[in-house]
Amino acid sequence: MSTKNFKDYLDKNQIDYQQQVSLKEYTTLNIGGKAAFFCAPKSVEEVEMLITQAKANNIPYFILGNGSNVLVSDNGYAGVIIYLKKHMHQVRVKDDVIYAQAGAMLWDVCEVAHKHALTGLEFAYGIPASIGGATFMNAGAYGGELKDVLTSCTTVDEKGDMHTYSNEDMQFSYRHSRLSHANEIVVEISMQLAPGESTVIRQRMDELWQRRQSKQPLDKPSAGSTFKRPVGGYASALIDQAGLKGFVLDNAMVSDKHAGFVVNHAGATFEQFIALIEHVKKTVEKESGILLEEEVRILK
């Protein structure tokens, strides 16, 4: 690993970066240590440059959008964080198609759709994810998923090469895409929506936002749903039935509002959060025979 060569490259090419940046400030869980390099590319070309140079210098890298589905170790990350939200967040509309860069927030794209009276994306309003993260995990809610509207996805692979995939190529399923098993970074997607009535679109968006506020613990730091939905059931119901709703372990807590959310109750550490996740998994498996799988991504 040659961090000096990598730093020299960043300086020479005037790439926006910092060193030893606390990732706690960039995740919705408010947990995590420092990243060795925190880079904010301004273009697809700079994404390609960062990946190829990181690989050339044997430095690991991780893509960060809104940090809404990530649990970072308190020891930090001895590699390169490629942060897309700062610069790569442009959204444009052509006819009924929306083009959004990976760093754009999903709720902002919903607002653009509303402004142009385009319907089909209302289900996503309030999901605290960037477009890149939402595509990676096929984000969805209230009967809709990103796969329902995505028409193309442009990525950069670990060699720095670009690829464009169709909806079918993306191999979407529940909280899964081809990117779940490929070392590729989303840089832009396109979505096909349909003409609609602006007032009806706003009404639906507001309705879903109110439902989120009433059912989810939005007042506490979390990474959204901590566990994936198991076959034939719901993680929140299984956790509730196991008597764990509201359960507190050190400074981490199973939400007393929605058992599917493990929240940072009072300044939880990475180890405390992991310990509670493991306790929930073991207890639910003992009670129901079902082993829950984490939806949150763990970075250490």
Positions annotated as catalytic residues are 175, 225, 295
Name the residue among 74, 78, 79 with its Cα closest to residue 61.
79
Which secondary-structure segment (H or E) carries 281? helix 270-288
Q: How many CB atoms lie within 10 A of CB 39?
A: 27
Question: Could you give the angle at which helices 44-56 and 3-12 cross, rounded to 10 degrees?
Answer: 160
- The Cα–Cα gap between 178 and 162 comes to 15
243 burial (CB, 10 Å; 0-12 / 13-18 / 19+) is exposed
Residue 283, phi then psi, degrees to nearest 5: -65, -45
- The Cα–Cα gap between 71 and 24 comes to 9
Alpha helices in 59-216 (DSSP H): 106-115, 131-136, 198-215
- The Cα–Cα gap between 68 and 124 comes to 14
